[in-house]
Amino acid sequence: MAKIKSNKTNTRKDVIISKAARLFREKGYSATSMRDLAEHVGVEAASLYNHIKSKAEILQEICFKTANQFMNHITELELSDRSSINKVESILRFHISQMVNHYEEVYVMDREWKHLTDPYLSNMQSQRRSYRQRIAAIIEEGIRKGEIKDIDAPTAVLIMLHAVSGIESWHRSVKRIGSEMLEDNMVMILVEGLKK
C-alpha cells in the first residue's frame, strides 16, 4: 500500500505526469508502458487510473501545458516595441531557459507530439505551424527594416528552433560551461549569423 506522496503544490496527478515526462523522454511514449510508469511512481499500474484518465491524457497534458508557455511568450513579445533582432534574441533565450528549467516536458512535447491522437494531434500541428509563422513574420519584419540579412525566413526559423531543441546532448555541456554562457554562445552564433 504505497501511497503517492503529494505535497501542497503537487497533486498526485502532477507527480505521475512528471515521472511520465521523464520516462517518455528516456524511452519514448510508445516504448513506455503503464507498468513501467507505475513502478517508477511506486504503485501498481491499475492505481494510476485513480488519477489519470488514460496514457494518452498524460501526453496531452505535457504537450499542451508546455506549448502554452511558448505561445504566451511570443504573444507578449509581439506586443512589445523591441527591435526585430531583439525579439529574435528574446525567443532564443526563452527557448534555452525553458529547455534548461523544464527539460523533460519540452523535450517530450518536441519529439513525441506525433503520438497524440486526433482532436489533439490536429490542434498541436496547427499550433506548431502558427508558432513558426509568427517567428517568421518577426524575421521578415527585420529583413524589411534592414536589421536582418536577406534570407529565407522559414529557413532561419528552422535553424533557430532546431538548434535550440538539441539541448538534449547538453546537460553535460551545461555542467561544463554554465547555462548563461551556453545561452550567450548560442545567441552569438545565431544572432550574428542573422544580422546584416
Partner DNA sequence: ACATAATGCTAACAGTCATTTGCTCAATTT
Partner DNA sequence: AAATTGAGCAAATGACTGTTAGCATTATGT
The residues that touch its own copies, with contacts defined as CB under 8 A, are 27-28, 30-31, 111, 114-115, 132, 149, 151-152, 154-156, 158-159, 161-167, 169-170, 173, 176-177, 181-182, 185-186, 188-194
The answer to the question of residue 39 lying near DNA (CB under 7 A) is: no
Which CB, 50 or 101, lies closer to DNA?
Answer: 50
Segment near DNA (CB under 7 A); pick from 28-36, 87-95, 124-132, 180-188: 28-36
The answer to the question of residue 12 lying near DNA (CB under 7 A) is: yes
Angle CA 69–70–73, to nearest 5: 90
* Cα–Cα distance measured from residue 93 to residue 123, given in angstroms and rounded to the nearest whole number: 26
Which CB, 44 or 76, lies closer to DNA?
Answer: 44
- The distance from CA 18 to its chain's CA centroid, rounded to whole angstroms, is 14
Whole-number CA gyration radius for the chain = 19
- Quick one: what does residue 56 bind among its own copies, DNA, none, with the CB cut-off 5 to 8 Å set by partner type? DNA
Q: How many residues does the chain have?
A: 196
* Cα–Cα distance measured from residue 24 to residue 106, given in angstroms and rounded to the nearest whole number: 11
